[in-house]
Structure 1
C-alpha cells in the first residue's frame, strides 16, 4: 500500500504516489478503462487525484468525477488547476484574473461532482494579471469553502516568495508547487526547492519518469515503440521530444543494472528516486491500464541507499538538465489566447 506525507506546512496528508490524469482520461484511453485505472488506484491505497480544467479541454475533470462517484469524499484528496485556455477560448477564458478564477472553480466543481477541492492550483504564473488580484481571488475561493488550500505549478523561486507573502497576509495557505522533476530534469534543485523549503511549500512533481523515457523502453538509434507516448500527439509527444536523444537514451540504459541490483523495475527506480527528496510530497503518475499501477505503487516506501544514488548520478552524467534558468521560461510571458 501507499505511504502518506504532509503537504507543505499544513495538516493535510496526501498519498506519496498521486494519480494524475493529464494525458489519459478523455484522450488516450476510453472512459471504461479510465474508470478501471482510478478504481485500481483506490484499491492500491492511492487517495490523492490530480487533474486540471485544461486536460482534454475540461473532459478529463468530468471523467475523473464520474470515476470517483460514490466514493467517500472525506477519504479523498482531489486537486485541480486553472490558467490555460478552456472552453471556446475567448479573451477571458484563460489566465489568473479574478473573473477567470471565479468562473473556473465553479465549472471544475460541477465537472468533478464535488462541493470543494482539497487543493486549487495556479497552473502557471500569469504575467498579465497583477499577482495581488490573483491571490485575492484564490483567497476568496478558500473563504467560500470551494477549496481548502492553494498551490501553484512551475513557479520560480521569486514567484513563490512573493505569492506566499501575499497569501499569508490574506490568511490563506499556499502549500504546494507542481514542477517537472526526475533523474533527468533537476532544474528546481538549486533555487526553487530551497525557497520552497524555507516557506513550507512541498513539491508535487510531474513526469517523474521523464515522460516514460526512464522506463528504458526507448532505445538509442531505434524508432520509438509503436503505441508509445512518443508516437501519439494526444499523449504529450512534444514534451518527450527533448529526452529522445541518443546520449540520453544510452545513459538511461546504464540504469538497468542499477535497478536490477536494487530489486526494482526501471519505473520503480525512477519514482523511488524522486521520493528520496524530502521536499517532494508526492510523485504524479498516470496509467492507461490498471496493471500499470500495481507495479508503480511498489515504489512507495522504498529507500535508495547512498551507493545506489551515486551510481545513478554516475550513469546519467552530464545528460541531466540542472540549469536553474529553465524555470524562468516555463510560464508563457503572454496568455495563449
Structure 2
C-alpha cells in the first residue's frame, strides 16, 4: 500500500480508502461486511470512510464493530454530516450548528471512538449561513472530536469561501470528496485547479463508475442478476446515467487496454484516478472480501502516457466533463 498526504496537512492516508456507502448495513450482511473490512486491513488499507446517512446510521455501527480492537492511532476514520438521519425531523438534516454538534456525538458513539480524523460536510447547505456551519466545524475541532474538516461535492466557489472561513477560524479544511472516474471528469476544469491552489486534496468516490468500468455490463444485454444496476434500494438509480449502449460499447474497448497493462478493468479504473496528483485516495467498496484484495492491487500502479492516451481514445465523447454538473447534482434546497 502507498500513502499520500491529505491536502496541505501532515496527515497521511492510504491511497486506497475503504468506503461502506451502498453496502454495509443495507446490501451486505454484517458478518460479510466485517470480513470485507478485515480484508482491507490485511491488504494494508488504514483509511476508512463512512457517513451517518448510510443505511440511516447502521453503516457507522457496522464499521465501528469491524474495527474494534484495532490500534486507533494506526487508523484514519472519516465520516460525514448533512443528509437526514433518525426519524428525519426538522433539525435532523443540513449543516446547522445544532445538527452538526448533535451528529458528531452520534457518529462517535456508533464508531466507538472519541474522535474522527476527518469530518466532512456531505453536501453544501444552501439554507444555513456558511459562517454558522464553519464555526460549528471549528468548535468540533477545538473539542477534539475531529482532527480535520473536509467537504463533499462542493463547487470551486464554495470550496474557496469555506477555505477562507476555515483559515479565519483557525482550523484546516483539507479535502474534497467528489465523484471522479474515467467516465465522470467534471471536477477537472474548476474544482481540481482551485483545490491545488488552496492545498485541498480529492478523496474520490465511484472510481469504477458504480461498477460500469469493470466491463460487467454489456451493451444490448440485461444487467447481471444481483448487480448494482438491479438494486432498487439506491444502486440502480446511481448507475443509470451510464447504462446506455453508447457508454457500454465504449467501455468494452478498455478490455484490451487493461489486458496489455496487466490489470483487470477495475484495477485500471482505480489506477487511472490515482494518476491525478490532486487525488489523495480512491474510495472502494466491496460486497465480497475477495473484491478488496483485487482492487487494492491498483495501489502504486503507474500508467504510462500511451496507456492514458489509449483510455481516452477508447472512451471518446462519452466522457462527461461539464463542470457545472457539480452544482446540478447537489441539492438546491436542504434535503428534508
TM-score under structure 1 length normalisation: 0.99
In 1, Cα distance between the equivalents of 2:102 and 2:45?
A: 29
Report the Cα distance in structure 1 between the residues aligned to 2:97 and 2:141, rounded to whole angstroms: 13
Tell me how far apart the structure 2 counterparts of residues 74 and 336 of structure 1 sit (CA, whole Å). Answer: 35
Structure 2 distance, partners of 1:322, 1:246, is 19
Query: Structure 2 matches for 1:72-221, cutoff 5 A?
Result: 72-221=71-220
Paired residue for 1:32? Answer: 31
Is there any run of 5+ residues in structure 2 with no aligned partner, and where?
A: none
Report the equivalent of 1:66: 65
CA distance in 2 between partners of 1:174 and 1:335 (Å)? 22
Give the match for residue 271 of structure 1.
Answer: 270
* Shift, 1:235, TM fit: 5.0
Deviation beyond 2 Å, 4+ runs, structure 1: none
CA contact (8 A) 1:126 1:331 kept: no
Separation of aligned partners in 1, 2:171 and 2:37:
30
Q: How does 1:18-57 map to 2 (within 5 A)?
A: 18-57=17-56
User: Is the contact between residue 131 and residue 163 of structure 1 (CA under 8 Å) also seen in structure 2?
Assistant: yes
Paired with 1:290 and 1:221, the residues of 2 have a C-alpha distance of 30
- Quick one: distance in 1 between partners of 2:270 and 2:161? 30
Distance 1:95 1:329 in 2: 18
Residue in structure 1 matched with residue 303 of structure 2 by the alignment: 304
Q: Deviations over 1:111-140 (max 9, x none)?
A: 000000000000000000000000000000
SS at match of 2:324: helix
TM-score (norm 2): 0.99
Asked if the contact 1:176/1:203 (under 8 Å) is kept, the reply is yes
Q: Quick check: 1:150–1:173 contact (8 Å CA) kept in 2?
A: yes
Equivalent residue, structure 2, for 1:6: 5
SS of corresponding position for 1:194: helix
Secondary structure of the structure 1 residue equivalent to 2:233? helix
Offset at residue 330 of structure 1 (A):
2.2
Partner Cα separation in structure 1 for residue 174 and residue 148 of structure 2: 7
Work out whether residues 49 and 79 of structure 1, in 8 Å CA contact, stay in contact via their aligned partners in 2.
yes
Note if contact 1:86-1:94 (Cα within 8 Å) is conserved in structure 2. yes
For structure 1, which runs of at least 5 residues remain unmatched after alignment? none
Partner SS for 1:118: strand
- SS for the counterpart of 2:302 is coil
Q: Distance in 1 between matches of 2:18 and 2:204?
A: 11
Q: CA deviation at 1:234?
A: 2.5
Q: How many angstroms apart in 2 are the aligned matches of 1:167 and 1:124?
A: 17
